[in-house]
Structure 1
């Protein structure tokens, strides 16, 4: 949760620089001749890729958060339904407060779309947890 807070506390320009820097490294691995592209083509690749990187980060970080909540909630002996619902609600609550937090950060603002993307990561985390849990249960 601290990591999410710290990423959200970055001003838009700093956050963009971080994701574009990561994207540039990825592009050079998969497209070694990228430096030969025209400036227009480079910009198009960067803009499109940056959006994908940023939204993928939302999915990944909330995927991990959902797993951590589920592992924690498992210790309380809740039924699977209550455990999963609690994890979803806790993650969505944090995602919502994170978007509110961004109101106070330079160049950033809240986005309901981001909460929806976070929900995709949350649901993926729940799905993976359920699959792994069932596989372990069958082996026991």
Structure 2
């Protein structure tokens, strides 16, 4: 059940992280606030906190995120080619920034290391002792 929860959470974590990073970049470029970016990354933080309760869920979601981050860090062209094959339309919620044609989903969050950071936090939480795993575990 934990592995299924981790796989189910992988898609929203991936796309919300990218949407949050894009919204923050758009806010910075406009020299204004970016509440959509904060909301997206807060939603990712909530999902990560919930996933850390189950080690299997944390590993199942964290390992692909680390792999995506490593691919962006080591071979950007291959990562962009793979990201270009991912669906974008129909995945986002209304009002969040979408991917540009020249920038496939995952590009900004992958290049900035957000996927690696989130994946590493999930994997490390699965390796911690049970009493230190999550604030939600009681």
Give the TM-score of the pair, scaled to structure 2.
0.38
Q: Which has the higher helix share?
A: 1
TM-score by length of 1: 0.38
